[in-house]
Chain A
Amino acid sequence: MSLKQRADRQAMPCQDAQVRRHNFDEVALGYTEEQAVTEATRCIQCKNPRCKAGCPVEVLIPEFIQAVAERNFAEAARLLKERNALPAICGRVCPQETQCEEKCILGIKGEPVAIGRLERFVADWEMAQPEVKSEAPAAAPKTGYKMAVIGAGPAGLTCAADLAKLGHDVTLFEALHVAGGVLMYGIPEFRLPKAIVAKEIGLLQELGVDIQVNMVAGKTILVRELLQKGYDAVFLGTGAGLPRFMGIPGENLCGVFSANEFLTRTNLMCGYQFPRLNTPVSVGRRVAILGAGNVAMDAARTALRLGAEEVTIVYRRSAKEMPARAEEIEHAHEEGVKFQLLTNPVEIVGDENGWVQSMTCLRYELGEPDASGRRSPVPIPGSEFTIDVDTVIVAIGTDPNPLVTKTTPGLDLNRRGNIVADDDGCTSVPGVFAGGDIVTGAATVILAMGAGKKAAQAMDAYVRNKAAATAQ
């Protein structure tokens, strides 16, 4: 079949914007079997597939897509899971446009193969067929090594899964009451249903990973104690969960929330089901979100769903510099989120009861590119104006949580408080490995998973080399 005759990239069926802005159901509905097969046949099965190199966990992309094209979905699922423990999650939240799909050869002249959507289709198909359980990969013989993984976010989950597959005894320690990290508390239900996350994590437990929740590293357990108590190696995947604030007057007024608090109340604690569930979450009529990353889009769209009448993204740069995925920005637009660009607040003003009433903002223009290559925002003198708001959600980024790093002597950190680790996750403390946002600063789910995967291999090599050295 020539390229010309190929079908167009299959669009993702979605809930109507005017309907979905009032519910927490998943926005993207997923491909039908026919759509998936049609999309899969677009793949030209390159001899030297560049898409694979674009995937941080090196999923067998052409192979699984070939199986979809042949309608052998069970085989597709098996191939997918060989490299990726969390395909239903990755298919939904990976920024494929800057990873696998960016490298797809079809993208040069037309649209790349919808690899993410196909990955999601296959994972969802498998979850929907409890009786066609794809064969679990043959478990490696038990090694007798004990591995501790701290933090059950994407990095820790991947590291734990890979260590278990290698035959190690793995204990995964998580500070919150459920595993999943940002997948559970951060990314909203309407983008990533929590039942899917829970199911995918359940599969890890079937691999033999022992998950212990309510264990705060640095408080309930200490890294050096784990090493003393018989763990052969430790992986730190504690993420970047410390919210940044602006440092402007009025930031502690009632009605100002970090995006972390707002999203955790809504997602992890299911605040949108209040009062059936006990954790309250509330928004006013007019909500301002500070920041324009994916977290800001998530917070904005969540605020709409909680009943806010007007939700505005306030960002000091222009549309071009917004760090959120294009798809998320588009979804936010469709649902009615407003954008107040080249604008930054200098003060949040409260009423006599201590509640947010308005924000004083300055208009900005773009100057020279800064170190990150983005044009730096410069305030325009005398441009003060007021926005009336009753809720402000701060989504300007997060920093690494110091609970673990402060209580682990000898662990080298950089100026920002991130753990210094090499490409394999080795830190300055022998036997201690790290990966994900705690090393890189806030990044993506899939990069954290890639780091977890590499660290698992390095930990395996570490315990084996150590044993070999001792034996000599």
Chain B
Amino acid sequence: MNEILKKESLSPAVKLMVLNCPFIAEKAQAGQFFILRANELAERIPLTIADYDREQGTITAIFQEMGASTKILGQMEVGDSILDVVGPLGVPSEIEKFDAPVIVVGGGVGIAPIYPVARALKEAGNEVIAVIGARNRELIFWEDKLRAVTDELVICTDDGSYGQKGFVTNAVVDLHTKHGKIACLWAIGPMPMMRAMTNVTRPLGIKTIVSMNPLMMDGTGMCGACRVQVGNETKFACVDGPEFDGHLVDFDLALKRLSIYKNEEKRAIAHMEHQGGGCGCH
């Protein structure tokens, strides 16, 4: 179990892995995530289920090598097995048939998790528009895969090296003007991008769902590390979310909470590099 069946680089920073996880594949739905622990020394980290294949019993993980844990994962190869994989976790996306077009927005590594949402929306009979964005052309991936499950695909790069120049927020404003009405919008990506998107959609009156990515540990509701302030309530992203009404989320607080272990993350990477770049277990 948990064997890595396929490994690909989607961009210089983003890697894809297809994992043999039949229990998770059997039940996975759009919007859910899983938690993995690469080896005995690693921590538990949450990743969105970017795709799943019930027949093959596989799930697809997409991650950016940022901290010690994702670097350890990045060093694993096809044939290796991940020590612990648990899921599917979180509440699935609420998919329905809307009376107007819907938009899914993916920023950076967030391009991956919008794929199952777009597919589910399309299967429910919606007109689906995808907007994907990254700093430059090299960081854009899954263009064809997304095109296959959407009616329209808009690509944005900050530097204009591919698609239209500018941020995904600008593209959404244009789409709203063009279509007159947008029933609902999903935004998945770094927190600052999701915050910017909610600031744009609020005056336009577009219902906006964001997928929160706070720190997590168990992912089953037992610790509250992932708590987010939504309206006047404290919610646990792992069991109440990870999707919430973006217009009610306190992003300032969420961004601060992401930095709780900033110093420790640096120490962990320094320790790992000191150990010769490996997982430190040899």
Which residues of A does B touch, CB under 8 Å?
175-177, 213-216, 219-221, 241-243, 245, 251-252, 254-255, 257-258, 260-261, 264-265, 269, 274-280, 282, 353-355, 401-403
Contact = CB atoms under 8 A, between A and B. Distances in A.
A175 B85 CA distance: 11
B223 A260 contact: yes
A353 B257 CA distance: 10
B253 A241 contact: no
Given A176-B218, A219-B87, A275 B239 contact: no
B216 to A, nearest CB: 10
B271 interface: yes
Contact of A254 (B89, B229, B259, B268): B259
A242 B239 CA distance: 11
B257 A354 contact: yes
Interface stretch (B40-48, B158-166, B187-195): B40-48
Nearest to B274: A275
Interface string B120-141: 0000000000000000000000
Contact of B260 (A216, A254, A402, A403): A254
Given A254-B256, A265-B217, A276-B280, A220 B87 contact: yes
Interface of B: 23-24, 27, 37, 41-44, 68-69, 72, 83-89, 217-218, 220-225, 227-229, 234, 239, 252-253, 256-257, 259-261, 263-265, 267-268, 270-272, 280
Given A220-B27, A265-B217, A401-B221, 8 more contacts: A213-B84, A254-B256, A254-B257, A269-B217, A275-B68, A276-B271, A279-B217, A280-B264
A215 B86 CA distance: 7
Contacts of B27: 219-220
Nearest to B259: A254
Contact of B256 (A282, A353, A402): A353
A402 B91 CA distance: 13
B268 A278 contact: yes
B143 to A, nearest CB: 32
A459 to B, nearest CB: 24
Interface centre among B23, B220, B265 (most CB of A within 10 A): B220
B280 A175 contact: no
B84 A214 contact: yes
B234 A251 contact: yes
Interface centre among A213, A216, A219 (most CB of B within 10 A): A219
Nearest to B257: A254
B41 A252 contact: no
Contact of A260 (B89, B222, B264, B268): B222
Contact of A278 (B43, B234, B239, B252): B43
B256 A243 contact: no
A281 to B, nearest CB: 8
Interface centre among B23, B42, B87 (most CB of A within 10 A): B23
Contacts of B225: 257, 261
A269 B43 contact: yes
A243 B218 contact: no
Contacts of B222: 241-243, 260, 264, 401
Contacts of B72: 278
A177 B259 CA distance: 26
A261 B223 contact: yes
A216 B239 CA distance: 12
B217 A274 contact: no
- Give the dominant DSSP class at B's interface: mixed
Nearest to A353: B256
B276 to A, nearest CB: 14
B273 to A, nearest CB: 11
Contacts of B37: 177
Interface centre among A252, A265, A269 (most CB of B within 10 A): A252
B1 to A, nearest CB: 9
Contacts of B259: 254
A355 B262 CA distance: 13
Nearest to A277: B41
A252 B271 contact: no
Given A251-B234, A261-B217, A354-B256, A280 B89 contact: no
Nearest to A221: B23
Interface centre among B68, B259, B268 (most CB of A within 10 A): B268
Contacts of B24: 220
B111 to A, nearest CB: 26
B89 A216 contact: yes
A403 B271 CA distance: 37
Contacts of A257: 224-225
Contacts of B23: 215, 220-221
A282 B264 contact: yes
A276 B221 contact: no
B131 to A, nearest CB: 30
Contact of B253 (A220, A354, A403): A354
A269 B84 CA distance: 13
Nearest to A186: B222
7 contacts: A175-B86, A177-B86, A260-B224, A278-B42, A278-B268, A280-B264, A282-B263
Contacts of A277: 41, 43
A354 B268 CA distance: 23
Contacts of A255: 260
B268 A243 contact: no
Contacts of A269: 43-44, 217
Contacts of A353: 256
B261 A214 contact: no
B85 to A, nearest CB: 7
Nearest to B281: A276
A245 B220 contact: no
A405 to B, nearest CB: 12
A354 B256 CA distance: 6
B264 to A, nearest CB: 3
Q: Which 5 A-B pairs have the closest CB atoms?
A: A354-B256, A280-B264, A261-B223, A275-B271, A279-B43
A242 B240 CA distance: 13
Contact of B223 (A216, A254, A258, A280): A258
Given A214-B86, A219-B89, A220-B27, A403 B221 contact: yes
Contacts of B265: 280
Contacts of B89: 216, 219
B157 to A, nearest CB: 32
Contacts of B228: 252
Contact of A403 (B217, B220, B234, B263): B220
A176 B85 CA distance: 10
Given A276-B271, A278-B68, A282-B261, A264 B87 contact: no
A252 B257 contact: yes
A278 B217 CA distance: 12
A362 to B, nearest CB: 22
A354 B228 CA distance: 14
A282 B267 CA distance: 12
